[in-house]
Amino acid sequence: MNYEVLYNKMKKYKLFKKYFHQYRYVLTIFSLFSFIFALVFSLYNLETEAVLYATILCITIGIVIIFIHFQIFCKHHEKCEELLNNILIMTESLPKPHTLAEEDYQNMIQKLKETNNFNTTKYLNERNESIDYYTTWVHQIKTPISVMQMILKSEDNEEHRELLAELFRIEQYVEMVLSYFRLDNNSSDFVFKQYDLNKIIKNAIHKFAPQFIRKRINLKYEQTDITVLTDEKWLSFTIEQLLSNAIKYTEKGQITIAVTKNKILSISDTGIGISSEDIPRIFEKGFTGYNGRANKKSTGLGLYLSKKALDKLSHKISVKSEVGKGSTFYIDLNSKKLDIE
């Protein structure tokens, strides 16, 4: 038997059980009345055939009425199911109420919808105000950071280099605040085009060059001629987050950036690594893991935002790591079909 036919029959059977349960009192009263009429007729010594004929006629008419009413019940249920599956776009298409109870429920639904719309509008307005505030704050705070960097660069010594490194971290955290709000915002902040991957990687390396020098960490990278369909700003953000983590958790050794022909970007380090029990959760919001907590350097936002950005870019990220030997993050830059600007 066709599984779809079997499924529909089972669905019809379950629906009939619910119908019978819903109208069980009506059916009970109908059965009781039929019994009373049959009893009364029999007390008046009417012929048995007449009593049976009347009883069978009532039952037959009842079955026909129940069958017709059940079909109406099914159609009404199907319409409600369709409405439920498209509730966000069909709230004005509620079926005509058949009872006072249904009318009361629909009035409650409309009232809840109005309340929800009011609260959603209020939330979006407050959120937009927050985004505007933090956007302004980020741009304003960058000015004193730039001034401090210029002052510290005027004299090259160990103390100034350490302060510049800390300022660099502050600048990263400031940019992360804005990225956090932009990624959670429903508005489009993405521009998809074919980009030169080598250029994106080199810009990220250049940004972190002072950190490599300060910690005396080797960098290995072979240039690539691959182009990828992505958003430059958000892919750069992700690569920078991975480089930042690699530098943060690597005290000595090497960081390797590689790109395969099938567009898999990998960033490897020889740092402290990630414990196996932490790996499934490292992309969760606020999760720092044992090593992150031990070093008191992790906010638990960098990898979370990176994963969220890559999901929007239709790229996949994965990781392999071993405690004490380092980590390797892989970004699959093969994308689903996207519109090119």
pLDDT in tens, 31-85: 788 778 777 777 777 677 776 777 788 778 888 888 888 888 888 778 777 777 6
Delineate the domains of the chain, giving CATH numbers in brackets.
Answer: 3-95 (no CATH), 188-332 (3.30.565.10)
Q: Is 149 exposed, middle or buried (0-12, 13-18, 19+ CB in 10 A)?
A: middle
- 255 φ/ψ angles, rounded to the nearest 5 degrees: -115, 130
Q: What is the pLDDT of residue 340?
A: 47
**Percentage of the chain lying above the pLDDT 70 cut:** 88
Strand pairing of 193-196 and 227-230? Answer: antiparallel
- 164 φ/ψ angles, rounded to the nearest 5 degrees: -65, -40
Please give the Cα distance from 130 to 116 (Å, whole number): 21
Non-local CB neighbours of 331 within 8 Å, separated by 6+ positions: 238, 239, 264, 265, 266, 310, 315, 316, 317
- Predicted TM-score of the model (pTM): 0.64
Q: What is the pLDDT of residue 271?
A: 92
The torsion of the CA quartet 102, 104, 110, 116, rounded to 10 degrees, works out to -110
Spell out, as residue ranges, where the chain has pLDDT lower than 50: 293, 339-341
Q: What is the pLDDT of residue 81?
A: 76
Non-local CB neighbours of 224 within 8 Å, separated by 6+ positions: 197, 198, 201, 259
> Measured between alpha carbons, how far is residue 325 from residues 268, 274, 277 in Å?
10, 9, 16
- Tell me the β-bridge partners of 314: none
Q: What is the pLDDT of residue 341?
A: 47
What is the three-class DSSP state of 255? Answer: strand
**Percentage of the chain lying above the pLDDT 90 cut:** 31
